[in-house]
Structure 1
């Protein structure tokens, strides 16, 4: 009989920045691992693999070569950890909602008939349900943090001009859908492929959004505008294009939500550039987490109770 096994490293075992760098390095092998029946979870805060023991044999030598990984054995233990992750209990921003969507996207690579797929799917459902029941919902999620930074830059009812959203991935789309651009005269989504994005735009938002390429912004200074960077898909060429465009644009503030900052402080020293590692951003995380920590015991108890009720189902899926 083959047992289920999990191996992981997360931001609590090293620094968030070191974890983000390692995750970006490992992420490209997700498809190869999926073909072997192994789930790879790579977010800015974690690198985790799950599957049957025979499928994971020797994999940890390459994925965790620079770290000492933790090991989880058994379907129940794996389900519990992934349910806790899906609930936001292990996130840097406790109670944030993006992680469960990231887990859902990660399992799309797997054959849905695999037992590990069904176990992870169950874990996501348990985590989401427990989060809702216990109201373990971040008061300062990414969208609220961006709103507060914008409010700080435009006090006393001052009207902003444009909101530039760089990146059309999950985070960028959710930020626009949440209405962070409603206060602005217009919202502009900056993408390398506006034609392709335009076809998909109506499916995920009813907001009025302009589309433009990176090189097309910055024709004039816009000190009343805000730029939000919500993408990690930036190579050296794209970084140079963005940097030049933003230096021309001269916005009021650039908020970089990338786990690996897209720009360097030195190159944009004349601009107000806020990253996730700056004190201004971290104070929002700290405020949120102080509010969420007292809710943690009830959340974890809810997950454990739900999991006990589901153990018959999990055992039936074990090989």
Structure 2
């Protein structure tokens, strides 16, 4: 089964492989600061799903330097001269906070010559028009990339997780499907070149296969440019762990997950980029499912299954 992978997509844009490095903008989210809740989403870890992000106590430049050192171990010798990085502000909601201070951090990343683009993870209810305008202004500017001044790639990642409103209430998402679709419309209106990625979770408690596929359909119909899919992770320190230990739901087996992923891919037009088909799993705090711990093995088996 053919689909447009993130690796292929980036090679079309940049001409070579690029790597994402996870940075921390020092944000929180309205589900934690008391604006909408204090407990966070039911599945979200204490680090805001940012177990692989850099140390937020460091400036962005130092975070990039440290992250590059870690990623450089994965770079093959023949790729080392052309390796570029996308600065990925991943954990919590990275447009939620003092807009001017956040923009300074974006610019600090963009001014690094090794950074070819910016990816900002956030929530649909945390992207005000004023912030979107500031991001759009950055897309029009040229920054040093390698030895040349040029515009850089921009992506905004929205956490949808599910289009089932009952599930959304259960997981304490605290925004509506309409807010999600309206946000995509607002982004595309201000700048259709900003690449929108939608994050979806398969295996949320109580959801059927049809619920998961309907979420994919909803994301596609809303106009997303890319999709990230991952199986539900039960992590230590979350309310979801207690629900799991009380046997209120079962996690998907690898076979079940593969089956649903294949059906999902059949629903996704080829021009939509598949940024993820499985997550890494934060091994130190992962309770279930056990099978996701070896990402390379899972991806190899998934590729074989899809063929």
Name the structure where helix makes up a greater proportion of residues: 1
Asked which structure has the greater CA Rg, the reply is 1
- TM-score where L is the length of structure 1: 0.32
Name the structure where strand makes up a greater proportion of residues: 2
- TM-score where L is the length of structure 2: 0.32
